């Protein structure tokens, strides 16, 4: 029987480390790289300050070209909207040899709900 997307996320989460937004924030404040794997439009609507945006669908292809993701001693906090795509991303990164990664449980929604700071690029004024 074929696996569903839910099955894949559950399987990924069984193989990776997931941390709370409280722990993720502490890691970020201590110098962890922040990777947002949502789509660019989602990122533009608000993101964790300092986050690098590499959409989940491009991660495998952009990994080598993103120096921040290739520092073995620097932890990486990965998130998406609610933590499904980021769980898959963390599992993929591990398969590609990037092992100092964690998934932020609850994703951006939990981060924003906790009242933590978010960045939103200013609207472009074409006048």
Between the CA of residue 12 and those of 43, 85, 89, 90, 104, what are the distances in Å? 23, 10, 9, 8, 13
Q: What is the pTM of this model?
A: 0.91
Q: pLDDT tens track of the chain, all 127 residues?
A: 899 999 999 999 999 999 999 999 999 999 999 999 999 999 999 999 999 999 999 999 999 899 999 888 899 999 999 999 999 999 999 999 998 999 999 999 999 999 999 998 776 677 6
Vertex 111: Cα angle to 43 and 125 (nearest 5): 35
pLDDT of residue 123: 67
Which amino acids are annotated catalytic? 80
Q: What is the structure's pLDDT at 73?
A: 86
Q: Which of 3, 58, 71 is nearest to 32 (CA)?
A: 71
Q: In the CATH hierarchy, which top-level class contains the domain 5-113?
A: alpha beta
Domain ranges of the chain: 5-113
């Amino acid at each position: 029987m074929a696996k569903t997307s839910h099955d894949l996320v559950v399987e990924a989460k069984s193989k990776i480390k997931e941390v709370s937004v409280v722990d993720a924030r502490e890691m970020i404040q201590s110098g962890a790289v922040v990777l947002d794997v949502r789509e660019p439009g989602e990122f533009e609507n608000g993101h964790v300050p300092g986050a690098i945006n590499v959409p989940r669908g491009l991660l495998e292809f952009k990994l080598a070209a993103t120096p921040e993701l290739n520092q073995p001693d620097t932890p990486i906090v990965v998130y998406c909207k609610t933590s499904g795509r980021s769980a898959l991303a963390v599992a993929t990164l591990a398969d590609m040899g990037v092992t100092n990664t964690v998934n932020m449980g609850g994703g951006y929604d939990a981060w924003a709900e906790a009242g933590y700071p978010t960045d939103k690029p200013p609207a472009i004024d074409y006048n």
